[in-house]
């Protein structure tokens, strides 16, 4: 019996990063802006996408990949807005991985401008998985509390923009949007901050315009 | 977070290497875990203990080495190792740093009995 030590040096998380890089390259080559939405469950990702679908209708074509543990509900809501949507049910997994997005990529119609990926509702695990997106939005809704950025730093650190949602509830809650934004900015300087009420439509135009600008940069090769 | 599924991928590597080297048993496994990988070492150990039963690594000793955050600065070319949540270049203070270490789960070395 002999014992030998072998060097493996294999990064198991690198597999996801490589798959993500391939997706990013393909989306850029096709002129599609990939946007990954991260947040806790119930903070308004689907409602925000519905509001964006209304803004973009007739001007930009969007598609949505929905990640959930179970049910087709979110994809059905998006399709009701006339937007193509694919549901990925993870069957228990707490986040989406790049290879799951890779499987639906071939089905994304050629004429799409923006591809949104609504991640599984979870402010922890999805932060560690690049899906090949160009922009990552982290949503924080007013009922969740303004102390969340420092409690879940990875999500905010990895994001390009913070979207404070459900601003229509602010009169009833002790949520301070400035405090939430300042805390997120201390973790990620340069983070773009938006405040929206998708229900009322407040602030959605600003976010939509920012996404369109990013699409323009991507298509002119300045991404 | 999802330590059990990550451990499943560790075991794929262990079983592949054991087969490749004609080893009956894996006796030691060294994993490098980035502090920003979201992986909790205690949970990884528990998951490893659950998963190892009935595998060639049943009696393997698991060693977890923490990898701190490594930053590379595109402005001055400097590299910085960080223990805290300060993501700025130690040399020039730039915050445009690229994270080059601290997000990994590496199967570093394994010890096999043949």
In this predicted model, what pLDDT tens digit does every residue of B47-92 receive, in sequence order? 999 999 999 999 999 999 999 999 999 999 999 998 776 788 899 9
Interface probe for B, chosen from A1, A9, A11 (most Cβ of B below 10 Å), is A11
CB-based contact B105 A8, cutoff 8 Å: no
Nearest-CA residue of chain A relative to B12? A12
CA-wise closest residue to A113 among A84, A86, A141: A84
Rounded to two decimals, the pTM is: 0.88
Where residue B38 falls among pLDDT bands split at 50, 70, 90?
A: confident
CB-based contact B27 A13, cutoff 8 Å: no
pLDDT at res. A127? 93
Rounded Cα distance, B83 and B35, in Å: 9
pLDDT at res. A1? 78
Non-local CB neighbours of B51 within 8 Å, separated by 6+ positions: B4, B7, B8, B11
Task: Indicate the average pLDDT of chain B.
Answer: 92
CB-based contact A8 B110, cutoff 8 Å: yes
Distance from CA of A58 to the nearest CA of B (A): 37
The residues of chain A scoring below 50 in pLDDT are none
Query: Rg of chain B's alpha carbons, rounded to an integer?
Result: 17
pLDDT at res. A222? 58
pLDDT at res. A5? 95
Non-local CB neighbours of A222 within 8 Å, separated by 6+ positions: none
Query: At A10, which helix (H) or strand (E)?
Result: strand A3-11
**A11 in contact with B at a CB cutoff of 8 Å?**
yes
**A6 in contact with B at a CB cutoff of 8 Å?**
yes
The alpha-helical segments, DSSP class H, found in chain A are: 14-29, 45-56, 73-79, 98-105, 148-151, 153-157, 177-187, 204-219
Rounded Cα distance, A212 and A189, in Å: 22
Give the closest of B27, B95, B105 to A13, CB-based.
Answer: B105
Chain A residues close to B36, C-beta within 8 Å: 128, 154
Bridge partners for B34 per DSSP: B67
- Interaxial angle between packed helices A45-56 and A204-219, expressed in degrees from 0 to 180 and rounded to the nearest 10: 70
pLDDT, tens digit (0-9, with 9 covering 90-100), for A196-205:
999 999 999 9
pLDDT at res. B6? 92
pLDDT at res. A28? 96
Sign of CA dihedral A172, A176, A178, A183: negative
Give the rounded distance of the alpha carbon of A168 from its chain centre.
22
pLDDT at res. B83? 79
Residues B78, B62 contacting (CB under 8 angstroms): no
B44-47: long-range contacts, CB 8 A cutoff, minimum separation 24: B44/B3, B44/B6, B44/B7, B46/B3, B47/B3, B47/B4, B47/B6, B47/B7
pLDDT at res. A64? 98
Where residue B1 falls among pLDDT bands split at 50, 70, 90?
A: low
Question: How far, CA to CA in Å, does B87 sit from each of A28, A52, A193?
Answer: 28, 33, 19
Residue B35 clears pLDDT 80, i.e. is over it: yes
């Amino acid at each position: 019996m002999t014992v030998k030590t072998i060097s493996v040096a294999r990064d198991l998380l690198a597999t996801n990063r490589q798959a993500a890089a391939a997706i990013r390259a393909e989306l850029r080559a096709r002129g599609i802006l990939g946007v990954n939405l991260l947040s806790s469950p119930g903070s308004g990702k689907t409602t925000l996408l519905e509001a964006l679908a209304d803004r973009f209708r007739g001007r930009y074509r969007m598609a949505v990949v929905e990640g959930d543990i179970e049910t087709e509900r979110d994809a059905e809501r998006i399709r009701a807005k006339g937007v193509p949507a694919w549901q990925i049910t993870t069957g228990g997994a707490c986040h989406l991985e790049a290879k799951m997005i890779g499987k639906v990529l071939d089905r994304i119609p050629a004429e799409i401008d923006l591809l949104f990926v609504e991640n599984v509702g979870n402010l922890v695990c999805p932060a560690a998985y690049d899906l090949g997106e160009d922009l990552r939005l982290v949503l924080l809704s007013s009922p969740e509390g303004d102390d969340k950025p420092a409690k879940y730093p990875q999500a905010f650190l990895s994001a390009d923009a913070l979207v404070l949602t459900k601003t229509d509830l602010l009169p009833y809650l002790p949520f301070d949007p400035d405090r939430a934004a300042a805390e997120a900015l201390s973790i990620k300087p340069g983070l773009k901050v938006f405040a929206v009420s998708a229900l009322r439509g407040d602030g959605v135009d600003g976010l939509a315009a920012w996404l369109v600008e990013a699409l323009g940069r991507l298509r002119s090769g300045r991404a | 977070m999802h330590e059990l599924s990550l451990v499943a991928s560790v075991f794929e590597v262990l079983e592949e290497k054991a087969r490749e080297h004609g080893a009956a048993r894996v006796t030691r496994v060294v994993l490098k875990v980035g502090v920003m990988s979201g992986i909790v070492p205690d949970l990884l150990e528990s998951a490893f203990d659950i998963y190892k039963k009935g595998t060639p690594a049943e009696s393997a000793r698991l060693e977890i080495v923490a990898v701190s955050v490594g930053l590379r600065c595109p402005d001055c070319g400097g590299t910085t190792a960080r223990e805290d949540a300060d993501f700025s270049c130690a040399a020039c203070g730039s915050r445009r740093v690229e994270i080059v270490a601290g997000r990994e789960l590496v199967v570093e070395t394994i010890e096999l009995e043949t």
